[in-house]
Amino acid sequence: MCTSTQLLALTMGIEMRQSWRARVLLTTTLAVLACVVLSGCASVRGPIVIGYLGGLSGRTSDLGDAGRDGALLAVEEANLAGGVDGRELELLPADDAQDVTKAASAFRELEAADAVAVIGPMTSAIAVTVTPIADELEVPLVSPTTSTDELTGRADWFYRLYPDNSSAARKLAAVVHDRLGHTRVAMIYDLANRAHTETWARNFTDELTLLGGSVTSSETITSGELGTYDIAVDRALSSEPQCVFVLANALDTARLATLLRGAGFEGHVITSEWSATEVVIGYGGRAVEGMMFLNTFDRESTTSGYQGFAKRFRERFGYEAGFASVHAYDATRLVISQLDSDPTRAALRGRLDGLRSFDAIQGGLKLDATGDVERDYFLMTIRDGVFVRVE
Band of residue 44 on the pLDDT scale cut at 50, 70, 90: low
Half-sphere exposure of 270 (CA within 13 A, CB side): 30
Higher pLDDT, 273 or 38: 273
pLDDT digits (tens, 9 = 90+) for 206-234: 999 999 999 999 999 999 999 999 999 99
Q: Chain-wide mean pLDDT for the chain? A: 90
CB 66 within 8 A of CB 280: no
Half-sphere exposure of 351 (CA within 13 A, CB side): 17
**Chain centroid to CA 288:** 26
pLDDT at 293: 98
pLDDT digits (tens, 9 = 90+) for 74-117: 999 999 999 999 999 999 999 999 999 999 999 999 999 999 99
Q: Is the pLDDT of residue 31 over 90?
A: no
Distance between CA atoms of residues 67 and 50, nearest Å: 14
pLDDT digits (tens, 9 = 90+) for 307-349: 999 999 999 999 999 999 999 999 999 999 999 889 999 999 9
Higher pLDDT, 32 or 285: 285
CATH classification (class only), 48-163+300-376? alpha beta
Band of residue 391 on the pLDDT scale cut at 50, 70, 90: confident
Distance between CA atoms of residues 23 and 83, nearest Å: 42
pLDDT digits (tens, 9 = 90+) for 169-198: 999 999 999 999 999 999 999 999 999 999
Q: Is the pLDDT of residue 266 over 80?
A: yes
Percent of the chain with pLDDT over 70: 89
Name the nearest CA neighbour of 90 among 61, 122, 119: 119
CATH classification (class only), 166-295? alpha beta
pLDDT at 45: 72
Q: CA angle, 384 as apex, 382 and 390 as ends, to 5°?
A: 40
Band of residue 32 on the pLDDT scale cut at 50, 70, 90: very low
Rounded to a whole number, what is the distance in angstroms from the first to the last CA of the chain?
114
Band of residue 155 on the pLDDT scale cut at 50, 70, 90: confident
